[in-house]
């Protein structure tokens, strides 16, 4: 266990108690400027979804599996590339853009996404939040990316002043 904690600390993980406001003030928000599609597959399509993710083999892709469906988040161009294999899919009606919150987050941090989602909701921007092991991400409609980034940067500067 000590070796794991040491490895995590060396990876930049924050183990000290730090407030949500302090994290927001330190965070950087960026987009890779790629259009993404959210794909729904039948619940038994886990192997198909995992195979597509493995073939893409580069960030950003996501595979989520629950009892009702398999969800893929793929670059829009990959949906076209894998169209033959995605015959039974349902795709989101519009493209999304990814915003990454580029700061390592502690597992004990509470309320962080609430601040982000509240700010974006106030700007009438729908989001699809996602969490990786150490960073959070949100998908926003592609045509609202600039507004979303401006909103998040205002939130950051507000927290820098506190």
Q: Which residues contact 85 (CB under 8 A, 6 or more apart)?
A: 48, 52
Residue-wise pLDDT for 95-150, tens only, equals 999 999 999 888 888 889 999 999 999 999 999 999 999 999 999 999 999 999 99
Residue-wise pLDDT for 45-98, tens only, equals 999 999 999 999 888 999 999 999 999 999 999 998 898 888 889 999 999 999
Residue 126: predicted pLDDT: 98
If phi > 0 it is left, if psi is from -120 to 50 it is alpha, else beta; for residue 37 that is: beta
pLDDT band at 6 (very low <50, low <70, confident <90, very high): very low
pTM of the model: 0.84
Q: Which one has a higher pLDDT value, 18 or 31?
A: 31
């Amino acid at each position: 266990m000590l070796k794991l904690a040491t490895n995590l600390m060396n990876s930049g993980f924050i183990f000290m108690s730090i407030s949500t406001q302090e994290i927001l003030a330190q965070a950087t928000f960026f987009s890779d400027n790629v259009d993404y599609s959210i794909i729904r597959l039948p619940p038994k399509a886990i192997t198909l979804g995992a195979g597509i993710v493995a073939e893409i083999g580069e960030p950003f892709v996501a595979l989520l599996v629950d009892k009702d469906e398999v969800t893929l988040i793929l670059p829009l161009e990959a949906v076209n590339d894998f169209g033959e294999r995605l015959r039974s899919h349902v795709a989101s009606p519009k493209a999304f853009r990814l915003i990454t919150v580029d700061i390592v987050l502690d597992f004990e941090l509470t309320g962080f996404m609430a601040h982000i989602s509240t700010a974006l909701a106030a700007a009438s921007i729908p989001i699809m939040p996602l969490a990786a092991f150490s960073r959070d991400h949100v998908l926003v409609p592609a045509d609202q990316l600039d507004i979303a980034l401006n909103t998040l940067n205002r939130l950051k500067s507000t927290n820098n002043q506190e």
